[in-house]
Each structure stands twice: as structure tokens, then as C-alpha cells.
């Protein structure tokens, strides 16, 4: 059976071309990639792109992909995030090679690397304040100025660095800097700071260290230690690549790493309209209570997506369709939702729900009787079998499926018209009941006993409408949550054309006040027993999942993942 998630021949792109060339010329015989999240927040849709890319490349080239926590910053990181990230990678269907790795496991080796640079005259302890360092850094148009401490001897630097490590100094009194070029047109090469003093405990190494490496120093070393061949990152690191190369080259010269060294390759990050893909912004949405926690189904987090009923296959399909590019671009949320739809259509079992129930009475149906109808679990997959759906004289139908006075082209229920109650019988509408205000309270019909779907002669009835329904006595009440876009604007927080120059927009102001609609629906009884965590197609309505937080067997709650056709606003 072919599924939309099949990837027989992955589309070529500039990263694959680079790998092909490196394998062809013998630079590498096996590729190693890595996914290196910082455990300082929950993963978002942007990360799924990086995960699918890195793990996907390793899969398709028969190489390795490491899961490495980039936990060199002691302040913002927590075990809670580590656990959630591991769960998210697994859920997307990927398995890392070997053990999970932690950058903090390499602190000793990073320290040794720093010492090697000092000995080689390629790093020095700077005792200027942070402000002084900043003031001498120069600008894009002005070269920087050498620190007065730049010419310290290797011995003096080593002595000071060891004392920094021993905890003799207060935070901010000294830093270790790479000694490169204060005149470089690339600001990242103007003697970047590589170690600083932080008297704080780390979530894994505790109080073992009071000096911590900076990300730009730590990351290339982590890659080199793990013999990563292709270190794939987003475009904002392009200007860092010269330092990445300088550092690993200097360490190879010092005998710490063998060549070939890892190669940094940048690609365009995923940007999606009408949402925000930045941990900093997501943290605000959660902490200020604009959404209900990290797994709110409206959030573009993986935990939100799971709770919403999005599928791992849908994310993989989306990553493939979005492709890998060298230039930034923005993608419509519809593209992501279409990928979910295509994947879910293939895999989601069918169920019936009436979202806006209206009573239908079959006046000639034997009182108190129940007939059993059979509904296929998946129309394209007969092997998925059928399930029993009870039929009785009182049914729920959708309010919008009845019109007392039909508009032009309306083919569903109106007095005198016949429709098929799908998997059940053909009925003819004979009228309706109304309350004192004229609201329709029940639709009246007569059924044709020889019209049951699947029985001989059922086809003799030709009808244009085909409605879903539920037996009132058997249906279960359920709360149903429909989600709209989280933001009303394409790029939340972006300036608008007619904004006065002094106006600063906050992305919070662009939140969609109608992003959640709650309905009181009726669902088929099988859903009370169905496995939690399964996304279903509710016929004619879209894809839904039982809410993992709030749904209980005696109080069902369903979230809509996506509609059947595009059009969510
Ligand atoms: P944020 O900007 O949301 O804080 P981050 O880049 O700081 O994200 P990390 O945990 O450092 O988050 O990222 C782990 C990996 O995921 C990195 O390799 C990063 O490049 C990648 N990544 C993060 N956001 C995106 C995105 N929008 N598109 C593609 N890859 C991304
Ligand atoms: Mg980051």
C-alpha cells in the first residue's frame, strides 16, 4: 500500500549535493549529523524541520545522527525540557545513534582545548569589564581596538585561567578570549569571548564548574569530539562559520582533533505565517496566560501538535514538501495543514459526530426498536473492517442539514425531499416542529424499511443527499474544541504600512481573540471505548482526537486537528 509519507527518492538539495561530493571524493566514508537542541524550552514546529533534516539525512545515507543537548548555559536549562525533547524526537519517529549526548559531558575536554589555545598563543585572559570590551569592539564600519591585556604571556594567561577555574575571581572580572584579529571586517573574529566566570550550579554538573564556555566556542568542539561530518544549522550562524573553522583548525594544529574536521552548513529556517517560532515568544504566550500551557493545541509546539491530533507522518511529509533552501522564506499554515490532512486521511479511522445537533424523528419507525447498521472504518481500506452503528426512531442530525424553505441547490432535508442516512435508510421529510419563537426543534421524517444500505434493493432509491446521523439513545455527549489561527496577522508583531514611525508593535496585540470555539456535540458510542491518542476522521467535519488532558470516558472532549478542506482562519 503506497502512503503519502513514502519517500522512495528524496528530493535533491544543496546539502545532499555536498554530502554526495564528500562521499565521492573520499573525504568521508560515512556521514554523521546531529540535532543539538538547547534544553531551555519546548520544541516548536521549526525544530521539526531540523530534526527531519538531520535524522532524515542519516537515515537515507546509512549514517548516524546524534541527539545532543547543548547544555553549556547553566542558567536557563532544566531536566523538564530534556525529557520533553527526547519524547518529541521519538514521537517524530526517529532514533539517535548511540547514547544521548550532553555538551556538559565535554566540559573537561573544552577546558583542555582552551588551555591548548593559550599554550599556542591563540587565547588570552582579558581583565577588562564587559563595557570596556564592548567599547573596544568597534562597529561594522570601524575596526576594533586591542585590549591592553592582549599581550599577556602564555604563562600569565594559563595562571589566570586556572585561577578563574579555581573560583578565585568574581563574575565579570576576567574572561578568556580567542586571539584572532581586532581589525577583522567580521565582528565575530574580533577576539571573541570563549569562557566566562559564572558562579552558578549547572543542572547536570552541579557545582563542578564556575567557568562556562560560550556557545560559539563549545559547539564546534562538540561536533569535533563526536566526529560529526556535516554540522547543519540555520542561516543566522553564517557569520560564525569563519570562527567555527578558525577554532577547529587551531585545535587540529594543536593536535587535539584529527582531520577531516566537521563542516558547518547553513540552511534557511522554517518560518510560518500567523504563528511565532521562537522559544522566547512562546514562553511569553504561556507565562502570561494567553494560552493554556505548553501543550495548548493552538501553540506551534510539538506537545501542542500532539494534543491537537497532528501526526508525526504529517510533519515528515511537511518537511519534505517545504524542502531545504539557502534563502529565508515564509510558508502558509495551510501547507502544514494540508500535509497533516494527507497523512491523516490515509491513517485515521472514520467515526461519526454531530457537531450542531438537531432532533430528527422517524414517525413510522417501530417504537423502541433499534436496528444495527455497519459503517466502514476506512472507505479506502476495507481491511480496516466495519463497526456497528445503532439506528433508531430518534436521531441527531446537523442543524445545517435541514431547511424548512430550501435555498437554491440545497439537496439535504426539506419537506418533500428524500435523503439517505448514510449506512442506514432513506428517509423522506414530512415537516418539522417548532418552539414558540419559531425555532425548529425537530425534523419529521418517514423511512423506507427496504432501503437499508447494503441490502438488496437499497439502490432502487435515488437520492442526492447523504447525511450523517446518530441514534439519540446511543450517542454520547462530547465537548468539541475547534481551533482557529493563533494570530490574526501574517507576521505577528510586524509593523503595518500605515503605522506611525514611533509606534512599536507587540506580537501579543495580534493574537486572534476567536482562536478557540467550544461546541456541545454528540458522538458515536464507539468513541468512548476507542484508544486515546488516536486521531479520527469525523465524517464531513475533519480530523479529531480525544483531548489528552481533559477527556474522560464519562466526559468526552475532542480537539479538531484540521478540517477536511482548507479554510481555517
Ligand atoms: P529559538 O530561536 O526558538 O530559541 P533555537 O535555534 O534557539 O530556537 P535550539 O534549541 O538552539 O533552538 O535549536 C536546535 C536546532 O533546531 C538548531 O540546530 C536550530 O538551528 C534548529 N532550529 C530552531 N528553529 C528552527 C527553525 N525555525 N527552522 C529550522 N530549524 C530550526
Ligand atoms: Mg538557541
Spans of all domains in the chain:
14-103+218-340, 106-215, 356-474
Q: Which three cell numbers stand for residue 415?
A: 419537506
Cis? peptide before 260, omega within 30° of 0: yes
pLDDT in tens, 155-168: 999 999 999 999 99
d(CA 259, CA 101): 22
Predicted confidence at residue 278, as pLDDT, reads 93
Task: Please say whether the beta carbons of 152 and 124 come within 8 A.
Answer: yes
Cα–Cα distance between 459 and 430 in angstroms, integer? 22
φ/ψ region of 340 (left if φ > 0, alpha if ψ in -120 to 50, else beta) reads alpha
According to CATH, the topology of domain 356-474 is: Ribosomal Protein L25; Chain P (2.40.240)
Asked whether 269 lines ligand 1 (CB < 6 A), one says: yes
Would you tell me which CATH number, out of the four given (3.90.800.10, 3.40.50.1370, 3.30.465.10, 1.10.3720.10), belongs to the domain 106-215?
Answer: 3.90.800.10
Give tens-digit pLDDT for 177-204. 999 999 999 999 999 999 999 999 998 9
Instruction: Looking at the CA of residue 282, tell me the nearest atom of ligand 1.
Output: 3
- For ligand 1, say whether the CB of 47 is within 6 Å of any of its atoms: yes
Enter the DSSP assignment of 261: P
Distance, CA of 364 to CA of 426 (rounded, Å): 13
Cα–Cα dist 547/563, whole Å: 17
Q: Identify which of 34, 37, 43, 47 to mutate to test ligand 1's pocket (most ligand atoms within 8 A of the CB).
A: 47
R_g (Cα) of the chain, nearest Å: 31
Owner of C-alpha cell 564556555:
213
* Pocket of ligand 1 contains residue 278 by CB under 6 Å: yes
Report whether residue 233 contacts ligand 1, using a CB cutoff of 6 Å.
yes
Pocket residue to mutate for ligand 1, from 36, 234, 237, 301, most atoms within 8 A of Cβ: 234
Helix/strand/coil (H, E, C) string of 452-506?
Answer: CCCCCCHHHCCCCEEECCEECCCCEEEEEEEECCCECCCCCCCCCCCCCCCCCCC
Cβ 46 under 6 angstroms from ligand 1: yes
Nearest CA to ligand 1 atom 3: 278
Within its chain, how far is the Cα of 193 from the centroid? Answer: 33
Give the catalytic positions in this structure: 38, 269, 279
**Ligand 1, atom 15: closest residue by C-alpha:** 37
- All 3 cell numbers of residue 435? 418552539
- Cβ atoms < 10 Å from Cβ of 447: 20
Residue nearest atom 18 of ligand 1, based on CA coordinates: 233
Cα–Cα distance, 329 to 272 (Å, whole number): 9
Residues of the chain with pLDDT under 50: 1-3, 5-7
Q: Is 297 in the pocket of ligand 1 (CB under 6 A)?
A: no
Handedness of CA 146, 147, 149, 152 (dihedral sign): negative
pLDDT of residue 77: 67
Residue 301 is classified by DSSP as B
Ligand nearest to the CA of 272: 1
Q: 14-103+218-340 belongs to which CATH class?
A: alpha beta
Centroid of ligand 2 to alpha carbon of 38 (angstroms): 6
| Ligand 1 pocket member 37 (CB < 6 A) | yes
Given this chain, do its domains 14-103+218-340 and 356-474 carry the same CATH topology?
Answer: no
**Distance set, CA 561 to CA 32, 42, 52, 269, 307 (Å):** 35, 20, 21, 24, 9
Distance 91 CA to ligand 2 centre (A): 22
Q: Provide the pLDDT for residue 1.
A: 37
Q: What is the 3-state secondary structure (H, E, C) of 506-528?
A: CHHHHECCCCEEEEEEEECCHHH
Amino acid at each position: 500500500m503506497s502512503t503519502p509519507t513514502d519517500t522512495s527518492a528524496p528530493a535533491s538539495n544543496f546539502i545532499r549535493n555536498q554530502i554526495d561530493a564528500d562521499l565521492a571524493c573520499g573525504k568521508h566514508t560515512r556521514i554523521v549529523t546531529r540535532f543539538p537542541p538547547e534544553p531551555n524550552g519546548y520544541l516548536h514546529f521549526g525544530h521539526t524541520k531540523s530534526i527531519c533534516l538531520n535524522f532524515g539525512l542519516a537515515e537515507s545515507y546509512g549514517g548516524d545522527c546524534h541527539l545532543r543537548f547543548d547544555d553549556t548555559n547553566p542558567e536557563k536549562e532544566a531536566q523538564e525540557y530534556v525529557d520533553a525533547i527526547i519524547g518529541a524526537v521519538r514521537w517524530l519517529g526517529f532514533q539517535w545513534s548511540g547514547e544521548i549526548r550532553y555538551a556538559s559531558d565535554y566540559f573537561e575536554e573544552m577546558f583542555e582545548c582552551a588551555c591548548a589555545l593559550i599554550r599556542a598563543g591563540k587565547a588570552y585572559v582579558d581583565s577588562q569589564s564587559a563595557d570596556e570590551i564592548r567599547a573596544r569592539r568597534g562597529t561594522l564600519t570601524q575596526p576594533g581596538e586591542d585590549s591592553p591585556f592582549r599581550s599577556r604571556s602564555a604563562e600569565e594567561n594559563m595562571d589566570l585561567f586556572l585561577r578563574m577555574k579555581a573560583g578565585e575571581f568574581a563574575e565579570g572580572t576576567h574572561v578568556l578570549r580567542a586571539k584572532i584579529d581586532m581589525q577583522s571586517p567580521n565582528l565575530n573574529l574580533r577576539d571573541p569571548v570563549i569562557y566566562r566566570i559564572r558562579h552558578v550550579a549547572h543542572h547536570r554538573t552541579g557545582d563542578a564548574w564556575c567557568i562556562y564556555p560560550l556557545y560559539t566556542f563549545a559547539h564546534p568542539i562538540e561536533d569535533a569530539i563526536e566526529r560529526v561530518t556535516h554540522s547543519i544549522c540555520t542561516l543566522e550562524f553564517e557569520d560564525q562559520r569563519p570562527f567555527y573553522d578558525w577554532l577547529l583548525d587551531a585545535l587540529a594544529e594543536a593536535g587535539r582533533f584529527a582531520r577531516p574536521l566537521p563542516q558547518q552548513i547553513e540552511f534557511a529556517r522554517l518560518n510560518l505565517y500567523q504563528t511565532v517560532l521562537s522559544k522566547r515568544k512562546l514562553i511569553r504566550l504561556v507565562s502570561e496566560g494567553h494560552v493554556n500551557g505548553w501543550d495548548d493545541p493552538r501553540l506551534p509546539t510539538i506537545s501542542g501538535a500532539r494534543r491537537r491530533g497532528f501526526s508525526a507522518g504529517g510533519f515528515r511529509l511537511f518537511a519534505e514538501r517545504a524542502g531545504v533552501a539557502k534563502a529565508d522564506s515564509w510558508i502558509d499554515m495551510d501547507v502544514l495543514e494540508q500535509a497533516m490532512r494527507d497523512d491523516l486521511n490515509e491513517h485515521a479511522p472514520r467515526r461519526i459526530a454531530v457537531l450542531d445537533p438537531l432532533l430528527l424523528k422517524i414517525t413510522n419507525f417501530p417504537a423502541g426498536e433499534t436496528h444495527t447498521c455497519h459503517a466502514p472504518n476506512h472507505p479506502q481500506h476495507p481491511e480496516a473492517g466495519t463497526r456497528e452503528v445503532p439506528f433508531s426512531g430518534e436521531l441527531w442530525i446537523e442543524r445545517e442539514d435541514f431547511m424548512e424553505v430550501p435555498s437554491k441547490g440545497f439537496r439535504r432535508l426539506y419537506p418533500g425531499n428524500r435523503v439517505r442516512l448514510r449506512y442506514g435508510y432513506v428517509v423522506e421529510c414530512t415537516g418539522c416542529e417548532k418552539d414558540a419563537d419559531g425555532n425548529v426543534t425537530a425534523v419529521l421524517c418517514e423511512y423506507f424499511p427496504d432501503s437499508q444500505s447494503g441490502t438488496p434493493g437499497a439502490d432502487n432509491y435515488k437520492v442526492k443527499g447523504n447525511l450523517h446521523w446518530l441514534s439519540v439513545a446511543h450517542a454520547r455527549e462530547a465537548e468539541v474544541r475547534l481551533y482557529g489561527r493563533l494570530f490574526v496577522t501574517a507576521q505577528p508583531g510586524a509593523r503595518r504600512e500605515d503605522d506611525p514611525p514611533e509606534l512599536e508593535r507587540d506580537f501579543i496585540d495580534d493574537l486572534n481573540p476567536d482562536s478557540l470555539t467550544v461546541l456541545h456535540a454528540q458522538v458515536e458510542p464507539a468513541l468512548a471505548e476507542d484508544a486515546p491518542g488516536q486521531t479520527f476522521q469525523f465524517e464531513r467535519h475533519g480530523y479529531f482526537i480525544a483531548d489528552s488532558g481533559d477527556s474522560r470516558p464519562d466526559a468526552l472532549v475532542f480537539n479538531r486537528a484540521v478540517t477536511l478542506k482548507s479554510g481555517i482562519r
